[in-house]
Amino acid sequence: MSETINIEQAVINNLSILSHEKQQEVLDFVEFLVQKTTTNHQLARDKSLQPEKRLSLKEIAKLPIAERHKILEPYMVATAEDFLTDPELTEFSVLA
């Protein structure tokens, strides 16, 4: 617990030294980490609740659209986040 407090205090101390612009970058990064952690926990929880049988993409494509969305929804947030943050994927955004 004291280690967490020390980390928090160190972040606060260093944050106060930074410019407003850099503080915003730190905040953006922390929010990204929180979102990524939440998404990963959600995926792990959903995976543990689902039966072990994994459907192929062809099998998923044959399902009614509502079922497809239900299966794929947890992965869409992570995929969207990857396209926003992964440099190899963000290069394609210039084509839009």
Percent of the chain with pLDDT over 70: 74
The structural domains of the chain, with segments of one domain joined by +, span 20-95
Q: What is the pLDDT of residue 93?
A: 53
**Is there a contact between 74 and 38 (Cβ–Cβ < 8 Å)?**
no
**Is there a contact between 39 and 76 (Cβ–Cβ < 8 Å)?**
no
Q: Which pTM was predicted? A: 0.41
Q: What is the pLDDT of residue 46?
A: 64
pLDDT digits (tens, 9 = 90+) for 50-93: 555 778 888 888 989 888 888 888 788 788 888 778 777 766 65
What contacts 81, CB < 8 A, 6 or more positions away? 32, 35, 36, 39
Spatial distance between the Cα atoms of 83 and 56, rounded to a whole number of angstroms = 23
